[in-house]
Amino acid sequence: MLSARQLPKAKVPGKYFGIVRCFRYDRVDATHLSDFYQTEGIVLGEDVNLRTLLGFLEMFAVEVAGAKEVKYVPGYFPFTEPSIEVHIKHPVLGWFELGGSGIFRPEVTRSLGVDVPVLAWGIGIDRMALMALGLNDLRELFSADLESVRMRRSQYKIQ
């Protein structure tokens, strides 16, 4: 959505992102919520490529989520080719997907007047928080229980 609106007026090189609440038709469990935060981002540039895309994904996984183990697997999304999913390993929940990404198909970008490669991703903010805050269940992030919210310690690491 962001990319479709931003691309026609985007600068080269350019980086754009948004963080918004998204909704999905899914059964709610430890790693799925009916509404959740996601960050969508696009990067335009003459020299961006698969490896720079992996570089961004790595920053989300390692710097933001604080994951120790990260893997990139081929994925499928209709508007990108190639498409990549990024997965991280949580100490309790095991491997889960942090988000999807790819390089926009030229048919998509050219019709919007862009002729450089465009990286794009959608990354789950809450899933990164799950890892970074040491939680085992996404629902804790939206907890209504005042006592547990009041008593939550701030998380910071001196590196």
* One of 1, 76, 113, 137 touching another protein (CB under 8 A): 76
**Measuring CA to CA, which residue among 57, 40, 33, 68 is closest to residue 143?**
33
Please give the helix or strand (H or E) that residue 125 lies within, else none: helix 125-132
Determine if 71 is a binding residue for another protein (CB under 8 A).
yes
* One of 2, 30, 54, 93 touching another protein (CB under 8 A): 54
Rounding to the nearest 10 degrees, give the CA dihedral for residues 127, 129, 132, 138. -70
Letters for 120-159 (x = contact with another protein by CB under 8 A, - = none) are ---------------------xx-xxxx-xx---------
Helix (H, G, I), strand (E, B) or coil at 41: strand
Residue with smaller CB distance to another protein, 146 or 158: 146
Least Cβ distance, residue 131 to another protein (angstroms): 18
Site for another protein in 10-49 (CB under 8 A): 13-15, 17, 21, 23, 25-28, 33-35, 43, 45, 47-49
Q: Classify residue 127 by burial, with Cβ atoms within 10 Å: 0-12, 13-18, 19+.
A: buried
Determine if 50 is a binding residue for another protein (CB under 8 A).
yes
Biggest alpha carbon–alpha carbon distance for the chain? 53
Distance CA 78, CA 98 (A): 19
Determine if 72 is a binding residue for another protein (CB under 8 A).
yes
Residues 6 or more apart whose Cβ sits within 8 Å of residue 68:
89
Site for another protein in 97-116 (CB under 8 A): 103, 105-107
Distance CA 130, CA 139 (A): 10
Query: Which residues bind to another protein, rule: CB under 8 A?
Result: 13-15, 17, 21, 23, 25-28, 33-35, 43, 45, 47-52, 54-59, 71-76, 78, 81-84, 103, 105-107, 117, 141-142, 144-147, 149-150
